[in-house]
Structure 1
Amino acid sequence: MARITYDDQTAAAYKAVREIPRDGLGEWREAIRRHLDPSPGMTVADIGAGTGMFAAALTDWFDLSVVAVEPSAAMRAQIPRRPGIQVLAGDAGALPLPDGSADGAWLSLMIHHIPDLEAASREIRRVLRPGAPVLIRQGFPGRADTTSTFPWGFFPQTTRTTDTFPTVERTCEAFATAGFRRDALEPVPETLTTLADFLARVDVFRRSDTIMRGLTEEEFLQGKEQLRRAVREAEQASSPGTRTNWLDLLVLR
């Protein structure tokens, strides 16, 4: 399913540097609230749950029951074990859930790992109750200027990889085969980190990120040097250089 192998080392790196601090996700909380209309006791399938960042957030924010489905054993081992979160092995094409058992599906930065979007859409349709939404958090090709988006603006060659991701149109076409229609599409900001903090973690970040793994060593070092200069400029300006990123929320019903 994955474009990279999520072994123990990669999963640990992902947990350490890819999870966004909860206070940087406030806009996502409100966007999910608008489109999911959550209430305590609802069940959401977190498909491709990774290390459980959103599984934990959804339970904390809305008192939901989350079924975190993740194909990588190493990534599953990082998901918090606590009330409200059930962790299961599986992937989007073979969900270990009964028919009509979920009130919503959450897919965060993972549709580019799905080899057969049509098959996945049919499987997601099977496990959702009638009218339940699919919420997809994703960077879609053509929807953002990656030359100015953090952190990709420092590594412009990453477009070689991101341009191969499913577009909004391709995603909607695939889900339409299972009867889903596009309900909403909106960009959502998230506050990530300071430039200096990202520079300190960028080597580990590269090991855990599908996009940055596609860079050559020369391209990575060039981007890292640009990032280093930006850190110096922020320090000279007495500015922390905190960065906000934008991703899309695509809602299907």
Structure 2
Amino acid sequence: MPETSYDAAAAAEYRAAREIPREGLTAWRRAVADEARLTAGMTVLDVGAGTGGFAAAFHDWFQVGVLAVEPAAAMRALIPAGAGVRALDGRAESLPVPDACADAAWLGSVVHHLGDLDAAARELRRALRPGAPVLIRNTFPGRSGRDLRVRFFPETADSVAGYPTVERVEAAFGAAGFRRVALRSVPQESAPTLAAWADRLRRDSDTKLRALGDAAYARGIARIREAAAANPEERAISWMDLLVLR
């Protein structure tokens, strides 16, 4: 996928529109606790940290230190650094961290943006301590049916079809010495209602939605509004996969 550029305004809009509210991440907290067994004082490497929503959550949830690696300066400037979170300029293919420095790695909605997945896997092998997990939160081809964007903007399935498959990710990480230990779908609540989610959507902050034409985007918004009118109490719950490798 082509790299996305962010200026300060775009980064701020991304944070407002795309970061999942902390209260909507309860299931992700449980899933990470199950798979990573993090304890206070450990170090988590957050690769492609964006504006730091998950970096801050990891620190608060598990009392770990977080190395938040993000190549976009405007996004990196919004990471809540300090108090256990350190923002670093870098990329997955060339991580600015020492060997064997981290107890887990987190890649949230990142693998489809990587220019060289194989190089990223090798770098993570270098940066992680033996036995440390790689936690990949992503949408994968053939597994996106419960993604809210695919539900209401079905044309976005074409974008997802171009993402690395689970098998492609496993092959890249397998060559670097990792193997899959878990693949599970996890829910997240983007907003308390569908209407609130529609109000929060920002087309330009989402690579899937940005690829849509005006008519397709308008049809999607209309579908959300129609569903919200039919069921005002329905929460905006989407599902993504958690792929775990060690």
* TM-score, structure 2 as length reference: 0.96
Ranges of 4+ aligned residues in structure 1 off by more than 6 Å? none
Q: How does 1:66-215 map to 2 (within 5 A)?
A: 66-145=66-145, 149-193=147-191, 194-202=193-201, 204=202, 206-215=203-212
SS at match of 2:207: coil
Matched, 1:233 2:226: no
Tell me, in whole angstroms, the C-alpha distance in 2 between the residues paired with 1:137 and 1:130.
Answer: 21
- The alpha carbon displacement at 1:82 in A equals 2.4
Code of the aligned partner of 2:245: L
Deviations 1:70-127 (A, max 9, x none): 0000100111122100000001001000011111100000100001110110011111
- The alpha carbon displacement at 1:34 in A equals 1.1
Tell me, in whole angstroms, the C-alpha distance in 2 between the residues paired with 1:24 and 1:37.
Answer: 21
**Paired residues of 1:2 and 1:114 also in contact (CA < 8 A):** no
Tell me, in whole angstroms, the C-alpha distance in 1 between the residues paired with 2:27 and 2:200.
Answer: 24
**Paired residues of 2:197 and 2:236 also in contact (CA < 8 A):** no
- The alpha carbon displacement at 1:2 in A equals 5.6
**Paired residues of 1:58 and 1:66 also in contact (CA < 8 A):** yes
Tell me, in whole angstroms, the C-alpha distance in 2 between the residues paired with 1:149 and 1:247.
Answer: 7
Tell me, in whole angstroms, the C-alpha distance in 1 between the residues paired with 2:85 and 2:190.
Answer: 25
Q: Which residue of 1 aligns with 2:19?
A: 19
RMSD: 1.3
Q: Would you say how many aligned residue pairs link Structure 1 and Structure 2?
A: 245
SS at match of 1:211: helix
- The alpha carbon displacement at 1:244 in A equals 1.3
* TM-score, structure 1 as length reference: 0.93
SS at match of 1:55: helix
Code of the aligned partner of 1:229: E
SS at match of 1:50: coil
SS at match of 1:151: helix
Tell me, in whole angstroms, the C-alpha distance in 2 between the residues paired with 1:217 and 1:192.
Answer: 23
